[in-house]
Amino acid sequence: MKTTYKIKYIQQVLAVCLVVVSLNSCSDYLDEKPISQPSNVTFWRNSNDANSAVAGGYAQLRKALNSGLSYYAHGDLGTDVFSTERELRSDFTDIMKFKLGISVPLTETWKPMYKVRDFSIFYAAIKQADLCLKHIPEIPKDEFTDYDAQYNQYIGEAYFIRAFSYFYMARVWGNVPIVDGSDPDIVDTKNYKREDVAKVLLKATEDCQSAIKNLSWNYSTDTDRVVRANAGAAYALLAHIYAWSGNYSACETAAAKIIDSNFYTYVDRNNYMNVFAGQSSESIFEIAQNSQSEAQAGDRQSLTNYLLRGEYLKTRLNEKETVWQYDLTTLKQTFFNDANDLRRTKGFAEFSSDWPILLKYSKVTYTSPTSPLSINNILIFRLADIALLQAEAQAAQNKFDQARATLNRIRKMAGLEDSTASDDKLFEAVIEERGRELFMEGHRFYDLVRLARAKKIYKFGDSSSNKITASQFVSGKSYWPIQPTLLETNILFTQTEYWKSEAQ
């Protein structure tokens, strides 16, 4: 039925993915070019090689999160944010309906459903991190201009990249392989099974704690700010890992490290769009794609094609409808029902229409009149996210006064009155506020999972459907199926439990 498997990520890295980059700017740093050569022969000679290798890890993360728009497909599409009432008009229709078992022909690997079910792409980032962790310590100390600072930074970033990759996969697929990183130069035929999600989360936690031990808060250059991991990024990741694991006491502590550091400051909500301009004072960690070499083609491969129209996208200048339609009940009655909300007035165009335009991802440049490029960074963590995560943790621990104060601070910045939620509804109110503040930032699905776990409240559906019912949630539907082709090449793999009878 299934054949012997060599995990796909190993096949993809027969040539070591290292990078040759100029270090003059953030964009240059992250615009990697893979090279094909044994990693221990002509590489790993000095600090520049170490820096380039770490850059390769970030580039692999960007590739993974952009594959099939995975970051948003996993985090936003299958939620109450998008409507299933009308006939949807994109290859993401079944994802929005959370019909994840749909068959995709083997020849159509370009289809989003194929890409977003395939976790193997994340192992390229893990492989790169493993290479860094093995070989950077082998570089002679005198080949660094500032050994202690540079060595700790590069090692810390490698741990961060690996921790982020494992945590991301654990949230989406639950059980995933944990690969042996002790000798990443060796390409063998070893098979890996899907490890229990608790082990994967423990691995992510340990790597994140190692990152914190090595990373400082400061950046060596301004251009590195938030597009490379620092201590704040690692604490933000750790806070999310603990929240997902249900360890809200530890989550609150990790979030406090960020908030109490005063290293980050809120952007005035009258200038709300500055949050999304890239590397704002509020941002903690972003995936850089704000240069032409990093950007995604805006015609079919990025959010711009699906969320923009009219004056905001020349290739859809005369369109009156966006490709993707928000669920208007969620958008206008749940999230942005207050006309004074600056996130509504500053964050949308044509909000009163049936096809509002979200402006968070409206940075577009053109290589020709018909060739748009989306130059919007992927904003992973920011200060408001961590503050509301802290409020969630406080509400979960019945620290209602503290949770309410944190929640109301975010609401006040946006021009809203204090929350009137009672203590028993406060956790849910925080999750709802996260929906407003972090709208289409890749968080909604995971927020709803935590709400379901903590309070047995299930809000995955839009106004016309319920994408995950209470019984389906208990049965594990919130974990994605893996791409069925992986099952055909690894005898040790099994399909995600809920999807065993449905994934094709």
According to DSSP, the residues that pair with 332 across neighbouring strands are none
Q: What is the pLDDT of residue 286?
A: 97
Cβ atoms < 10 Å from Cβ of 209? 14
276 DSSP 8-state letter: G
What's the predicted TM-score (pTM) here?
0.91
Res. 294 pLDDT band, cuts 50 70 90: low
Q: For residue 133, which amino acid is it? A: L
As a whole number, mean pLDDT of residues 469-484 equals 96
- The pLDDT tens digits for 379-395 are 999 999 999 999 999 99
Q: Is the pLDDT of residue 30 over 60?
A: no
As a whole number, mean pLDDT of residues 296-314 equals 82
- Could you tell me which of 287, 152, 140 has the C-alpha nearest to residue 220? 152
Q: What is the pLDDT of residue 181?
A: 82
CA dihedral 90, 106, 302, 230 (to 10 degrees): 140
Q: For residue 400, which amino acid is it? A: F
Q: What is the pLDDT of residue 19?
A: 38
Contacts of 107 (CB under 8 A, 6+ apart): none
- Could you tell me which of 408, 452, 403, 448 has the C-alpha nearest to residue 423? 403
Q: What is the pLDDT of residue 20?
A: 34
Query: Do 394 and 239 contact (CB within 8 A), yes or no?
Result: no
Judged by DSSP in three states, 285 sits in strand
- As given in the structure block, the two tokens for residue 206 are 């340990």
269 DSSP 8-state letter: G
Q: Which of 102-111, 146-155, 227-236, 240-249 has the lowest mean pLDDT?
A: 102-111
Q: Is the pLDDT of residue 96 over 70?
A: yes
Q: For residue 441, which amino acid is it? A: E
- The pLDDT tens digits for 38-49 are 355 578 999 999
CA distance 243 to 427: 13
Judged by DSSP in three states, 317 sits in coil
Q: State percent of the chain over pLDDT 70.
A: 87
Q: Is the pLDDT of residue 463 over 90?
A: no
SS (H, E, C) 439-462: CCCCCHHHHHHHHHHHHCCCCCCC
Q: Is the pLDDT of residue 149 over 70?
A: yes
Cβ atoms < 10 Å from Cβ of 172? 23
Q: Is the pLDDT of residue 7 over 90?
A: no
Q: What is the pLDDT of residue 73?
A: 96
Length of the chain: 504
- Tell me, rounded to whole angstroms, the distance of Cα 320 from its chain centroid: 30
Query: Do 57 and 34 contact (CB within 8 A), yes or no?
Result: no
Cβ atoms < 10 Å from Cβ of 501? 8
Query: Do 366 and 59 contact (CB within 8 A), yes or no?
Result: no
Cβ atoms < 10 Å from Cβ of 5? 21
Backbone torsions φ then ψ of 265, nearest 5 degrees: -130, 145
CA distance 391 to 407: 6
Q: What is the pLDDT of residue 10?
A: 35
Run of H or E including 212:
helix 197-214
Pairing of strands 283-287, 378-382: antiparallel
Provide the sign of the torsion angle of the four alpha carbons 467, 486, 204, 282, taken in this order.
Answer: negative
Question: In sequence order, what DSSP letters do the residues of 216-256 get, joined into one string?
Answer: -SS-SSGGGTTTS--HHHHHHHHHHHHHHHT-HHHHHHHHH
Cα angle: 287, vertex 377, 89; to 5 degrees: 115
How deeply is 52 buried, as exposed, middle or buried, from its count of CB atoms within 10 A (0-12, 13-18, 19+)?
buried
Contacts of 341 (CB under 8 A, 6+ apart): 414, 415, 416, 436
Query: Do 287 and 61 contact (CB within 8 A), yes or no?
Result: yes
- Could you tell me which of 68, 27, 64 has the C-alpha nearest to residue 303? 68
Q: What is the pLDDT of residue 407?
A: 98
Number of H helices, E strands in the chain: 20, 9
CA distance 66 to 296: 9
Query: Do 170 and 204 contact (CB within 8 A), yes or no?
Result: yes
Q: Is the pLDDT of residue 264 over 90?
A: yes
Cβ atoms < 10 Å from Cβ of 494? 14
Res. 503 pLDDT band, cuts 50 70 90: low
CA distance 18 to 34: 5
Cα angle: 73, vertex 79, 81; to 5 degrees: 95
- As given in the structure block, the two tokens for residue 307 are 């969320």
Judged by DSSP in three states, 104 sits in coil
- Tell me, rounded to whole angstroms, the distance of Cα 421 from its chain centroid: 30
- Tell me, rounded to whole angstroms, the distance of Cα 363 from its chain centroid: 19
Res. 91 pLDDT band, cuts 50 70 90: confident
- As given in the structure block, the two tokens for residue 274 are 């500055």
Res. 185 pLDDT band, cuts 50 70 90: low
Q: Is the pLDDT of residue 37 over 80?
A: no
